[in-house]
Every structure is written in C-alpha cells, then in structure tokens.
Amino acid sequence: MQNKKCVFFDRDGVINKRIIDSYVTKQSEFEINLDILPILKFCDDNNFLKIIITNQQGIGKSMMNEMDLESVHNFMNNILLENQISTFDDIYFASELKNTEPFRRKPSPKMLLEAMKKYDLQKQDCILIGDSKSDIDSAVNADIMSIFYSIIEYEEANFSSQNTEEILTYLTTNFI
C-alpha cells in the first residue's frame, strides 16, 4: 500500500485573493482564486489530502473571532462544492500575533508537523503551496517540498510559479 500524499495550501493569496494590508474577516470579503481550482481538482483526481495551513492574525488583533473564521471557511468549502471539488480535508490556523507564544505561526513548522502526525504523513509525501516567504520557510523547517506561488522566484522553494499549468506539470512530474 502506498503512502497517502498531501498538498498543503496557504489560504490568503493562494486559495483566495489577498486583501492588501487587511484581513478576510467575513464571507463578503472572500474572493476565490479561480486559477487554483484546477490544482484542487488535480488533488482530488489523485486522491491527495488537501489541507490549509494559514496564519490568521486578524483573530489575535480582535478584528474577527474563530466563529467568523469558521464562517469564511464554510463559505470557501461551499464554493469548492459548487465547482465539483471536494472540501478541504482539514484547516490549521494560527491566530496569535507575530512573535507571541505559542509560536505556531508560519514560518514555524508546527502546524505542518501537527497535520503530518494526525494524518500519518511522511515528509516525502508532502508539499506546500504558498505565496509568502514565511510559507516556504515553514515547509523548509518541516523538511517538505514547496511551491512558491508567485511570479518571482524564491531560492528556498523547490519551484516558483503562479501559472496553473506549470504548477500542474511540476506536481505531475515531481510529486506523483
């Protein structure tokens, strides 16, 4: 029996459009990134786990609470279902402010390691797609592969691209 594979996704800037200098605090502010849908479908087609790993400092700043976050995530999962894509298998979030304990925020690998333990995942069977250096650094810190979802390159990432077809080719070539 082969090991289960998992694609970890950052949320803001990958799954949905990032609000510059602010946070998605409610459903009306959540705008799905349509370019990511084929990658999510690819995960479904290949029986990969799909797990979100996200920093949500807006909770720590009292701009929203965990119920607001859950509402946004339910809205997001409903959009996936409307597009014939299965919902995320799990969502891990760090709500603390930067540099406060417990330090689970990316670039810490703690959320990734928690998910890997829960789902009995091997490092070589995991990859993270993120749009910030802290995303990629968390993958490096967890010793897993990473894709920097950006038009610029980040040398710490295994691959850098924001092009859906290039990412699908990379996943097919290097992860299946």
Q: Is 44 a catalytic residue?
A: no
The active-site residue, picked from 10, 68, 131, 135, is 10
Q: Is 12 a catalytic residue?
A: yes
The active-site residue, picked from 12, 125, 131, 137, is 12
- Torsion on CA atoms 64, 69, 70, 74, rounded to nearest 10: 130
Nearest to 120 by CA among 15, 39, 11, 1: 1
- Provide the annotated active-site residues: 10, 12
